[in-house]
Every structure is written in structure tokens, then in C-alpha cells.
Structure 1
Amino acid sequence: MAKIHSLKISNYRGIKKLEQVFGITDFICLIGRGDSGKTTILDAISKVLSPIWNQTFHDTDFYNGNISNSIEIEASLYDLPISLTNENKYGLYIRGLEKETNIIHDDIKDDYLEILTIKLIVDKNLEPKWTIVNNRENQEEIEMRANDRAKLNVFLVSDYVDKHFSWSKGNPLYSLLKQDDSIDEKNNIILDAFREAKQEIDTSSFNHLDDTVKKVVDSASKLGADIKDNTTTTIDFKDISINNQRISLHDDKIPFRLKGKGSKRIISMAIQTELSKLGGILLIDEIEQGLEPDRAQHLAQTLKRENKGQIFITTHSRDVLVELTTTDLFRVKNNYSKLYEFDSSLQGCIRSNPEAFFSNKVLVCEGPTEIGFCRGLNNYLITEKGINSAIKGVRFANGGGSTQIDYTKAFLNAGYKVCLFCDSDVQKINDEKSSLSFLGVTVIDSDDKKAMENHIFEDLPWDAIVELIEYRIEEKDEDSVKASINSKYTSELGENWKDIDSNDLRDAIYKASIVKKKEWFKRTDHGEVIGNISLKYKQKFLDKKLGKQIDQLINWIEND
């Protein structure tokens, strides 16, 4: 069954112009900030491939409400139903996809993949018109009818899924029914089932009404109307609207439409997943809505694994994202004419930093200490400036040490504003910094051959260093902390060693803090303590390297 290869949208709601090639793929996840246009893209697909002949449009559906520019939505599809590609249908309008280049040609060659392009135009009269597009010379425009669009099996799961539980035409439940080869489409089996139910009601007893009926029969007889032999109580067909919408799924006697939002959405997806086993396009807006994290995770994993058609989803959930691969993701950004795709180098980042993908700006930190330090910085911004990283669309991502350069480049290529917060003690990393700066990355690093820990113990006032030592003592014990410092000190520590500030002692504390497998601060929570303590004394070391790094970080977070 048909799948979308590429999509074009013009002047529809918040999208002025968008052209995107999805390629040959079965699972697409759209991510982006709120109001970036994710839902609009799903709605556009739903409209251009809608089985409904009288779709309703309003002036507000036009970009900026400007009705002088028509809405145009165009979808190019492959894996087409044979019933649509016959010459007596749309076969003469088939186009060809050159798979090596992803270019669609109006003429088709033997090694091209068959493509059918459907276009929806809505002008200021608000009357939708669906046509088949092929720009071959002398090719006349041809309309595509609703019953042909219905063969594409396209359904949208949104907040309004109650109708998906009724058996009316155009709904997924009815489309699933039609796929049963044993069903004779000439007969309306839904209405037949309704009539059978009516017959059952007719044979039922209404004993509690018999006394009243008898009074009426006797009175009628006195007045000359003999109705005593045939009078019964049952339901009048006139009072029952006999249409498919009245027949719906129930849980015992309770309609499915009264279930919780999460359950309703899952049941709707279940119906459409069955449909997609024979092909179809399922559109799911905010897949995690109404679901606990584990259910959302399981749902995404199952849909991706068992999908036989094509699925488009949107999400804001980290739990959903960790189940996907970078090739599944397309980033939607306001006022951009195409979607951003993600490099495979970010696959590890999805697992460790899924939240970063939902931001506008990514601060790639070398490791957990830097991540924690930035969290402490964020605490300072909240307390002292009344702002925070979330308001500014900033997310801190763990660069994982050796992968920090790859992550930085990949986020930059995906359209994010990126800052790299790193050390300068690895030459391989240092060699990349100038090229990153040239590409637009803000690089905030340590002095040459130094790490952040160097600047912490060199630049912070002694009172702050004592606080860090006390924090370490709480984590371990004073004797072991003193012993580790003593092992790196040029002489013996005295009783009042925490009262004495010297370069030699600072150096010993630094060296003790970075001993492999015994590092003091190589954890995010420890890094946050460093950040909190450092910002507490910010005014006392503004002229030092650490103070300048803090100012650079604040400036980058604050400025859009």
C-alpha cells in the first residue's frame, strides 16, 4: 500500500513553504519545539490524502490568514495499489523515482520506481480540489476522487479519536472490515447486523408495560378498533437513526469513547496497525499523550518493530526518543523550508541525552563534571536573574569525552545553535576548535593544556576551596581525604591545614582530586555542587579564567 516519498506544503497554517524528501522509509518521527509545525505537517498529510470528499477549510487555515495565496499540499507516493495504477484509472499519470538521486521525473523508465503525485489546492472560495500531478507536455489535469483516496488507508490519531470506534464509512474500523475477503461489498453488513438486532428486540418481552397496553387495547375495542391480536411493544425504526455511526465498539455495556485518553489512542492505533498490515499510512500526533513513560516506550518500540505500512509520529518524550534511531528523526523548525536530518554519529547521544534533541540550543559539555557545573550555573540564573535555560531553549548534553567533537558537529548540522564547553588537555580536541569556531560554534575552553579542575583550584577563593574539601569529606571521611592530599603534597599537612592557602597546597588538592578511579567530582551531582559553590563566590574571581568562562556561558545562554 502507498507510502509517502516526498511532501510539499505551501501557505498552510504556520507553514509558508516546506519541501521535504523522506525517501524510502517506513517510520518517521517529527521533533521540534512547541508551535514549530509538527502537527501542521501531519494535518497536511491527512488533508491531501483524505478519503473525505467535503473537507472543511477556514480562512484561518491560510498562512497568516492571507486568502489571496492558495493552500497547496502535494504528496508523492510509492508502493501504490494496483487499482490506482491501471491505465483506466491513473496509470497514464505515473511518474518515476530515480532511487539513486531521489529525483522524481515526469517520465518513467524501467528502473524507476512508480510514483503518483496527489495535489490538494484550496483557494479563497474554500473549496478543496484534489488532482493528480504530472507535468508531461499535453497532459491534461485529472481529478482524484474521494473513493480512490480512501484506498490509500490514511488515518490520523489525534485528540479526536472517538469516531474511530464506530463502523461508519471513512473510519479505520470500516476500512479494516472491507479488507476481509469474505465480505460482500454490495451488502451493507453493518446495517444488516443492526436489523438483526432489531428483530431480537421485537421478540423480547416488555411485560412491565402489559397492563397499560391492555387498557389501550380494551379502550380501542370499545371505540371500534380491533387491535388486540397484533399489538406489541418494541422500538420504532423511525426513532432510531439507522446509520453506521450508531454502531460502535463497547467494553461490555460501556462505549469505548468513554475510556481514558491514553487507552482510546492505543485502541485507535491498534485498529490502524491491523489496517497497515496490508499497507497504509498511520499519523500519530504526540504519541505519548495520556500514557505512562513505560507504555509510551513500549508503544513506540512495538509500532516501529511490527509496522508493515508507513508511520509518522510526533513526540516531546525522551522515553519515546530512546527507542528510535537517528535515521527515524526529522527536526521541524519554524520558518525553515525543509526538515533537518540527523547524522548517525548522534546515535549514542540519543541514548544518553535525549532531552537535547528537543531544544533550540545545545551546550555540549565534555563530561559529567561540566554538565553538573552548568546545572549549578542554571541555579544561579534562576535565583539571581529570574531566567533559566529552559526558557532560553537551552539543553546541556554530555559530550562523552572522545565523542564531544562529533556531537557538536552533528547538532550544528541539524540546525541547532551549539556551544562546546571543554578542557584543553587533549591535543586532538584542540586541533578541531578553530574549525568549529569558523562554522559558528561558540567554544568555551580552558587555558592550553589545562582542564576545568585546574581552574577550579587555581582561581576560586580559598573559602570556596575549603567548601569543596568539606563536601568531599562528607562523601568519604576526613582521614582519607587528608591522606590523599598528603600523598601529593611536598611536605606534611598540619592540624590546621585547611586554614592555610598556598599554591603548593592548591596543586596537591587538584592532583588528589583527579586520581584515576578516585576522582572527586567526575559525576553530575558533584559537578553541580562545584557550580553552586563557584557561583556563590563569583564576584571574587571575575578576572580569572574560571570567572571569564562563567561570563561566557551566561552570555551564550541569555542571548538568542
Structure 2
Amino acid sequence: MEWHPAAGLNLILGGGDVGKTSILDAIALLFSPSNSSFVPDTDYYGRQEEDGFIIDAVISLPDDSKINGLLKAAWPWDWDGKKPVVPSIDGDGAAAHNEPVYWLQVTGTPELDLVYEVKQPDGTSENMPLGLRRQLGPVRLSSDDRNDRDLRFVQGSALDRLLADKTLRSRLSSKLAETNVVDALSNDSKDALSALSGAFAVKSLPTCLDLSITGAPGISVMALIGLTAQGSGVQLPLSSWGAGTRRLAALAIAEQTQGATPITLVDEIERGLEPYRQRALIGKLGSSKAQAFVTTHSAAAISAASNSTLWYVDYNGKIGKLEGAKVAQQRVKDPEAFLSRLAVVCEGVTEVGFASTLLLGALGTPLEQAGIRIVDGGGHETTLGLLEALAEGGLSFGGFADDEDGKHPTRWKKLEERLGKLLFRWPSGCLEENIIKLIPETSLEALIQDPAGEKTGRRLRSLQERLGSDSKEFAVLNEKAGANLRQLIIEAATGIVPVGKESERKHYESHSQDWFKSLSGGQELAKKLFAMNLWPSLKDQLLPFANAVRKGVVLPEIMDITL
């Protein structure tokens, strides 16, 4: 994966288990302010330790950074806008830097070790010391309880980096060693300790046993020291306060140690925070000088992040930028589209109802449970624009649209090449037309029947008005329309204005609302597609789309759909 994040706040969105947290983990590992004794095999792709892994970052650093204090000088690279390049030398011999940057790298070896290096323009590498990583170490709020660690005096924690008292451990350990633990024992316990000392002497082991507070490898006495704060007149450990307070406290501590190149990582910003606190934190991160990387599943956080750059991680693990006016409108209208594993943008509300019902049959489980979001694109033009904006980021979204008299063939063709079978479009015409034209003559009356019983009369009346009939009885309408009944139904269902009735345009266009121009109408069409045994006629067109959606949520292909 290669990523060029923006300055300021980067909001990373996407469905569950697509890799959002892994991105933050990679950044945190590269700038880790402590030396890990080992790296787990789960950090290796496919748990194949023999393949190793490499994490690189190209960053700019201030002139007074510790990278200039390495045993061997670390030389900057030039940044050409896309990648680091070897600095050029002009005719006068002076270095001509565009924007000096440094190339940092951590390698996970097959032996489960970590190697930190600074890559030099001459092809060599220098060790990246812990001191430099401590200077660059990001402020991090993970989705686990790591923030509790930052409230304690653990080596490398935010509190440890803030206080930076290198001799405190030895001084405190000496004081703790002076504590007379034996005096606190009961008489029976003292006798037992004395008997143990005698037993040691018999076996030629060290004697004069005593008890003292000691540390051990991997167990630090200092970790017992943590921040406390007063609550309701009582001094309480900060680690015992609410999750939201602990996270914000850890962030406040870490901010005190940020240098001139601050980096902030927040995983699941909504964890433990009420919506108003989410909005406040998003606002703070968006206005700070830090380059922040935030993951979220919160619509409130997305709505509040007006000054952020939105990134989406799709089900293939690709990350792409969400930008443009169309995306901005969708973020306000339906932010959950960017919190799903796979979003399918439909042309209108009828298509939303139809596609939802079809995919429910294809998956056999609620769409929300599978991480699928069906989105109302709000019309042909806006749907095309939104899908184009999403595709520009190299992301995989689904689409379901009509063919509006062959409009924008070049633009749609590019989208079809990009999205493949995830984009479904009728070869010609609209959804209602493609379904109704398959209905047998003998089933047209059943098509008119509204399962809820509310719209049947209004549908018959819309046909009555278009025919100029005195009756709205189906038999009368059928006889009067003759061979044109099917076309008449299509015109009423799509809101076509009869010739000579332009002055009553709104009235005739509203007829579509009595037919299928609604969420329930789209669902009704999908159900009648199967109930009237029309599915075999459309299976070859619709099944590939359904299977592409199934693939997007890691489900195998199916041979058929039943509803």
C-alpha cells in the first residue's frame, strides 16, 4: 500500500475489518517511543514471518530535530511531490532542494526482530535511535486500553515522556527497598519466614532472608505509579474514571510533549465519548498544528469534520480520497454510506427498494449485518457524479441505475470499466419499464394490485384519466385501452405527461407516486418479479451484479436467487 496523506486532520472511514486500524498501527510502530522486545507473528502478512515486512515514511523535520545529532549525518532527500528523489546540484555547486524530507524505515525480520533505519540518498542506511523516535513519537489513543498505560509511569508512556526524569526510577527503587515489610507481617508469618531461612541454611542457600519491594524483568514497580485526581473531594486514580475522560486525559498529557512535528493517532474516536465530546475533539484536532490520523464509525464525527480530508478504505484494502461537492453532499445526507463495508449507490428511491429486496434474497441475511449500505443517489445526474467522485479515489462502490435516453455514454462507459459487475445499468429504459414489459397480458391486473391495498384505486384512476374513461373498473379500462394497456401503465408508472396535457404536467407526473416511485414501490416490483416468475428472463442480467456484491462482503458466488 502507498498513501499520500494530507496535512491536518485525516479521517479514515470504511467498514469493519478492512484495515483502518492496521494503518494507524503501522504509523505507531514506525515511530514507537520504546524498544519492543519482539514483534508478534500476527504483524506479518498471512503470518508468514519468512517474508518479513517493511514500513516506510517520508517526512519533513525541523532544523533542530535530533536527526541532525546522529553519529553519522542523515542527509535529506528532495520531494518532487510524489516521491523522494536524490538532491540535485546546480552549476554553482550549491544544493538545490525543493522540499527537504527524510526517509525513515522499520523492517520486521524473519526472526521477529525490528530494525529501525534512516535511508540515505547515497543508498546507505543509518540506525534510527530511540531518542529520535521519542521526539517523533505520536500522540496515540487506540481503541483498546492503551490510554490507561499512558496515565501510568510505564517506560515510553506519555506520562514518562512528559516528566522525563531519568533518575526517578533509581531514586524511588532505593526508597522502596528501605521499606520494612517484615514489620508489617503477623507473628505467624514472621515465624514462617524465620523457618524458611533455617531451611535455606541447611541446604547451603543464602540466609538472613527479608522481604523488600523489588522489580523484575518485564514487571516495573514504577508502573504502579499513576496520576490521581480529585473527584467529589476524594483523590482517585485517573485510571478509575470513565473511558472518555481517560482518553481525553491521555491526549492532554501527550500534547505537552509534542515537538515541532506533532503526529496524532486516534482509533475509533467515538469510543467512550458522547457526540458533543466527539464534535469538540474533532474540532480541536482539525484546528491544531498536528497531522492527525483518525478512524471512526460515528456519523456525528464525520459531520463535524468539515476541515478534514476524508479517506475511505474499501473491501479490497485500498485507500482513496473522498473529495468533491458530490461527496460533501452525501457526507451530510447519508454519512453511513462511508461507514459500510460496501455501499451501493442507486439512482433513486425506487431503485433503492428494488436493489435492497433483490440483495436480501441474494445474501439471505439483513444487508446491515453484512456491512452493505444501499444509498439513494437522488437522480440520474447526481448518481453519476457521486459514483465518478468515488471512483476517482480508486475505490470499489456499487451502482444501480437506469439508461436515461443514452445520456453521458462516455462517462458511464468509464465507470463500467472501473467498477465492472458492481455497476448495474439497464441496457435501455428504466426499472419500471424493464419489469412491466415482461408482465404477461393475463397478469396486468395483478400488477396493478397494491399488496397493501392502499394504491390500487389510485392506480386505476390514473389510467382512467389518461384514457378519458367514465369508469375505473379494470375490465372497462382494459377494453378501452386494448393493445395499448401495457404502454399506458408504463406511462402512468413513470409519470409521462400525455400529449396536449402540458398545462397539467405536475398532476400527471405525480401519478408515478401512486405506482412504484417510492421505497415500497421498488420492493413491490422486486417481489412481483419473482412471484410472477419473471426472474428467469432477467437472471443473466441481475445475478452477476448480486454476486459482485456478495464478493464484496467475502461471500461465495451463488447460482440462483429465490425470494
Q: Is TM more than 0.5 here?
A: yes
Matching residue within 155, 173, 186 for 2:159: 173
1:145 aligned onto 2:147: no
The structural deviation recorded for 1:130 is: 2.1
Residues 249 and 256 in structure 1, CA contact (< 8 A), matched pair in contact too: yes
Residues 9 and 307 in structure 2, CA contact (< 8 A), matched pair in contact too: no
Q: What corresponds to 1:220 in structure 2?
A: none
Q: What corresponds to 2:377 in structure 1?
A: 399
Q: What corresponds to 1:261 in structure 2?
A: 243
CA distances 1:522-543 after superposition (whole Å, capped 9, x unpaired): 9999323431454145242527
Distance 1:260 1:467, change over 3 A: same
Q: What corresponds to 2:415 in structure 1?
A: 436
1:320 aligned onto 2:305: no
Q: What corresponds to 1:160 in structure 2?
A: 145
Equivalent-residue separation in structure 1 for 2:516 and 2:477 (angstroms): 29
Matching residue within 92, 104, 110 for 2:84: 104
1:535 aligned onto 2:497: no
Equivalent-residue separation in structure 2 for 1:290 and 1:534 (angstroms): 42
Equivalent-residue separation in structure 1 for 2:106 and 2:535 (angstroms): 62
The structural deviation recorded for 1:42 is: 1.9
SS of the equivalent of 2:270 reads coil
Q: What corresponds to 1:488 in structure 2?
A: 466
Provide structure 1 residue ranges, at least 5 long, that are not aligned to the other structure.
1-17, 179-184, 202-208, 213-235
Matching residue within 325, 328, 349 for 1:368: 349
Q: What corresponds to 2:292 in structure 1?
A: 311
The structural deviation recorded for 1:150 is: 0.8
**TM-score (normalised: structure 1):** 0.71
The structural deviation recorded for 1:270 is: 3.5
Equivalent-residue separation in structure 1 for 2:270 and 2:170 (angstroms): 33
Equivalent-residue separation in structure 1 for 2:66 and 2:101 (angstroms): 11
**TM-score (normalised: structure 2):** 0.71
Equivalent-residue separation in structure 2 for 1:133 and 1:60 (angstroms): 26
Distance 1:552 1:238, change over 3 A: closer
Equivalent position amino acid for 1:364 in 2: V
Residues 76 and 117 in structure 1, CA contact (< 8 A), matched pair in contact too: yes
The structural deviation recorded for 1:307 is: 2.5
Equivalent-residue separation in structure 1 for 2:283 and 2:211 (angstroms): 44
Residues 389 and 557 in structure 1, CA contact (< 8 A), matched pair in contact too: no
The structural deviation recorded for 1:313 is: 2.0
**Higher mean C-alpha deviation, range 370-379 or range 543-552:** 543-552
The structural deviation recorded for 1:115 is: 1.9
Equivalent-residue separation in structure 1 for 2:336 and 2:136 (angstroms): 35
Q: What corresponds to 2:26 in structure 1?
A: 44
Matching residue within 299, 315, 321 for 1:341: 321
Residues 276 and 308 in structure 1, CA contact (< 8 A), matched pair in contact too: no
Matches within 5 A, 1:109-258: 109-136=95-122, 141-158=125-142, 159-161=144-146, 162-177=148-163, 188=168, 239=213, 244-251=222-229, 252-258=234-240
The structural deviation recorded for 1:152 is: 1.4
CA distances 1:100-150 after superposition (whole Å, capped 9, x unpaired): x3321243744432322222234344443322210416x5x4323212321
The structural deviation recorded for 1:83 is: 3.6
Q: What corresponds to 1:410 in structure 2?
A: 389
Residues 78 and 87 in structure 2, CA contact (< 8 A), matched pair in contact too: no
Equivalent-residue separation in structure 2 for 1:493 and 1:389 (angstroms): 43
The structural deviation recorded for 1:555 is: 4.9
Distance 1:168 1:559, change over 3 A: closer
Equivalent position amino acid for 1:462 in 2: E
Distance 1:465 1:124, change over 3 A: same
The structural deviation recorded for 1:269 is: 2.9
Residues 513 and 521 in structure 1, CA contact (< 8 A), matched pair in contact too: no
Equivalent-residue separation in structure 1 for 2:41 and 2:490 (angstroms): 69
Distance 1:553 1:481, change over 3 A: same
1:72 aligned onto 2:57: no
Equivalent-residue separation in structure 2 for 1:364 and 1:175 (angstroms): 48
Residues 31 and 314 in structure 1, CA contact (< 8 A), matched pair in contact too: yes
CA distances 1:205-234 after superposition (whole Å, capped 9, x unpaired): xxxx9xx9xxxxxxxxxxxxxxxxxxxxxx
Q: What corresponds to 1:526 in structure 2?
A: 518
Residues 360 and 417 in structure 1, CA contact (< 8 A), matched pair in contact too: no
The structural deviation recorded for 1:366 is: 1.0
Distance 1:61 1:523, change over 3 A: farther
**Higher mean C-alpha deviation, range 415-424 or range 403-412:** 415-424
Residues 343 and 397 in structure 2, CA contact (< 8 A), matched pair in contact too: yes
SS of the equivalent of 2:373 reads strand
Residues 286 and 305 in structure 2, CA contact (< 8 A), matched pair in contact too: no
Residues 368 and 524 in structure 1, CA contact (< 8 A), matched pair in contact too: no
Equivalent-residue separation in structure 1 for 2:281 and 2:477 (angstroms): 58
Equivalent-residue separation in structure 2 for 1:301 and 1:396 (angstroms): 27
Residues 286 and 308 in structure 2, CA contact (< 8 A), matched pair in contact too: no
SS of the equivalent of 1:312 reads strand
Equivalent position amino acid for 1:330 in 2: W
Equivalent-residue separation in structure 2 for 1:70 and 1:266 (angstroms): 35
Equivalent-residue separation in structure 1 for 2:302 and 2:420 (angstroms): 25
SS of the equivalent of 1:21 reads coil
Q: What corresponds to 2:447 in structure 1?
A: 464
The structural deviation recorded for 1:434 is: 3.6
The structural deviation recorded for 1:52 is: 0.9
SS of the equivalent of 2:145 reads coil
Q: What corresponds to 2:45 in structure 1?
A: 63
Q: What corresponds to 1:330 in structure 2?
A: 311
CA distances 1:243-298 after superposition (whole Å, capped 9, x unpaired): 64333223443322233434433332343345448642222222233445x25741
Equivalent-residue separation in structure 2 for 1:174 and 1:66 (angstroms): 35
Distance 1:447 1:60, change over 3 A: closer
Residues 84 and 90 in structure 1, CA contact (< 8 A), matched pair in contact too: no
CA distances 1:400-458 after superposition (whole Å, capped 9, x unpaired): 3222222223333444445432233354345643443344544544464x433444655
Distance 1:305 1:519, change over 3 A: farther
Equivalent-residue separation in structure 1 for 2:4 and 2:122 (angstroms): 21
Equivalent-residue separation in structure 2 for 1:528 and 1:71 (angstroms): 51
SS of the equivalent of 1:136 reads coil
Residues 36 and 334 in structure 1, CA contact (< 8 A), matched pair in contact too: yes
The structural deviation recorded for 1:310 is: 1.7
Aligned residues: CA RMSD? 4.6
Equivalent position amino acid for 1:160 in 2: D
SS of the equivalent of 1:471 reads coil
